[in-house]
Each structure stands twice: as structure tokens, then as C-alpha cells.
Structure 1
């Protein structure tokens, strides 16, 4: 019986994930030489795929046809090769279980590993519960929590977790994730600023909601 190909899916707490998404795309050819395939060819592809799965396109100023099929296209590209696959979708860290299941449907047949990046003060109980429920085996859920969560340390720790070295994959030439999407006019620039502002607000709301759920869970445990 042949072994399943591995697929490493990265999700990141706010402030810790974007660097991985951008660095994977920027270094995709070099990472291929190290034995891993990066199906995404731009940060826009992974961003739109996340909006599709999360059904958040309207909040970001997109129409449904603009995101429809983005994740399926990435999965088709992933299935064409024979090496382990690495995909970064940092926004999916806040996905609920049905959204996670929908995402993983595209990778059925692969051995999926989930890598969660986090800073020192991020509350991860809810995140770990949701993603562990999907991958089901503890050795397939990797939590990378860093006290000093600089982009360089996050990128190095991520590469080490997946299994490739980052010494030759520096971040100096990696585009700023905040400006990774194409801007072709003043109107597009204004639209992009609004998208980024909405993204920040969405992440803040998600973080606040996660904190409320954590407090409620602790209160229930104390009562019990």
C-alpha cells in the first residue's frame, strides 16, 4: 500500500501568519528544490481561497464569482505533483468546523498536517479543539508558539516544523504581506486600503469573540 502524500496546511493567529503566506509564494521555486511543492502562485490566490471558504467575500468588497473555485483550483494544482504540499491560509485560523471540513475536502487522500503559528499571549484552546477535531491525530497538529514572534523567527520555526531549512530563504526580498495584492489605479488603491481595514476589523472581532468563548468555558468549568 503506497504512503499518502503529506499536505502541510498553515493557519496563523493575527500578526503571526502573513509572513509565512508571503514567503512561501516568494520562495516557491527554491522550496521545490528542497522537496516541497507550493501550489499557490500569489498571495492573492490564497487570500481569495480563504474568502471563498469563509464566505467573507462581501465583507471584503468582492462578488461571489470573483472567489468561486479558488480553493478547488489550488487543490487541483496540488494534486498534479508527487511531493509533499505546503499551503498557507492564515485567515482560516478562525474557521468553524463546517468551514474546516469544507476546506479539507479538497485534500482528501492526502495526509493533512496543520501548523498553527501564534504569539506568546494568544489563547489557543478553541483553535486547537477545532483543528484537532478535523485532523484527529495529535502528531498531525503542530502548534508553533513563539515568545519573540518576529517574522524571521516565525518563518524559521515554520520551516523547521514542516521539514525544510530557511537559511537560504531570507525575508529581505519578500513583499510586505500588507501590500501583497496588486494595485493598478488610485481607485484600486483606495479599495485595497478599505479591504485591509476590514480585514483588521474582522480579525479583531474574531479575537474578541474567541476571548469571550474562552471566559465562558472557564466559568462553566468552575461551576461544574
Structure 2
């Protein structure tokens, strides 16, 4: 069975990032148009997951046990959706190579797409892209440049369009595979009929 897609918004710039998940929940119809859903988590869950991934619990005044397993819980709840999912945090942009590897390993049940969102010409953007591209197939690293003052809803509409195009490409591939399988079965049927005559 094919894995579902996961679209992970990593920033470094996400407008109103502290409201991202709440806005995603309100945009259910928009997400449904691309067969997308969100994990059953809160904005606070995503915050703790980012703190865990980046190992910044001390800087945030937390103990490791306060955030331990947070990212795994988010991923488990995403997997329960049994559909393509969208979630993220601008803090994920700060992950180093080892932290990205752990994050992607936790998401191994998905075909993970990283969506980098940044203002045009943001410093360090090339390094961020290269870092993720070194750990994912290039076709699964997407960069959306933001215009100054672009609202979160506009960004989400572009991410949803990306998910819709990805879904269409998947369906096209399935159609091609089914046609090949049908041709092979038709050949087998013809062989059987010829042998019977």
C-alpha cells in the first residue's frame, strides 16, 4: 500500500506561525479540496514538538521530560488520519543535519515533503534548501517565496495547490500502472484462449 504524503511547513518564515494549526483547522474546506487533513493536535503540541526536535527545552524553561516524545505523538496522530497531512512549525527551519534526520526518520511512514517558506532573498535560504535537499529527494523539497505582507491564508492556498498537483501526479502514475497491468492480463487471457483452441 502506498504511503500517504505529509507536507511539513518548516519556515523560516510562516506568517502568524503561532496560529498556524488553528488557521489550518478553520480552513478545513480548503484542505479537503486537495484531500489534505491535519493531525489531531493543538498549536501547543506543535510547539513542544519543535522544542523537542531542536533540543531547546532548557532555553524555553522546560525539562526534557516535558517535551520528550512530543514529535512522535504528532506523527502518530497524523498517521491515524490515514490521509495526506499538513502541519508544521517555523522552528523546524532551525534543525541541524542530525535533527532533520531524526525528524524525517520519525516520519518514515509518510512520503514527506518539506515546504520551505521564506521571504524572497532571505539570508541563509540556500543553505536551508541544501540541508533539506541532502536528506530528501529533490522532488520533495519545495520552496515558496513570500511576498511582503502575504497573509497566512494566501500561503496555505499555495501549499494546498502543491498538494493537489502532487495528488494528481500520483493518480496519473496509478493509471499508467493499471493500464500496463491490464495489458499484461489481456495477453495472458489471449494465451489461455489460444491454448484452448
Fold-level similarity (TM above 0.5): yes
Q: For the residues of structure 2 that align with 1:59 and 1:160, how far apart are their CA atoms? A: 37
Instruction: Give the conservation status (yes or no) of the 8 Å contact 1:17–1:117.
Output: no
Q: Give the deviation of 1:113 after TM superposition.
A: 0.6
Identify the structure with the greater strand proportion: 2
> Match for residue 8 of structure 2?
9
> Match for residue 96 of structure 2?
96
Q: Give the deviation of 1:150 after TM superposition.
A: 1.6
User: Which ranges in structure 2 are unaligned for 5 or more consecutive residues?
Assistant: 166-197
Change (3 A) 1:51 1:10: same
> Match for residue 54 of structure 2?
54
Change (3 A) 1:62 1:32: farther
Q: Cα deviations across residues 118-151 of structure 1 (Å, max 9, x unaligned)? A: 112313111001110111x221111000233422
Instruction: Give the conservation status (yes or no) of the 8 Å contact 1:32–1:38.
Output: no
Instruction: Give the conservation status (yes or no) of the 8 Å contact 2:49–2:70.
Output: yes
Q: For the residues of structure 1 that align with 2:89 and 2:59, how far apart are their CA atoms? A: 18
Change (3 A) 1:149 1:20: farther
Q: Give the deviation of 1:63 after TM superposition.
A: 1.6
> Match for residue 159 of structure 1?
160
> Match for residue 110 of structure 1?
110
Q: Cα deviations across residues 156-199 of structure 1 (Å, max 9, x unaligned)? A: 323222339xxxxxxxxxxxxxxxxxxxxxxxxxxxxxxxxxxx
Larger radius of gyration: 2
List structure 1 segments (4+ residues) > 3 angstroms apart after TM superposition. 14-17, 19-22, 25-34
Change (3 A) 1:62 1:146: same
Q: After alignment, is 31-40 or 41-50 more displaced?
A: 31-40
RMSD over aligned Cα, in angstroms?
2.3
2:135 alignment partner, SS class: helix
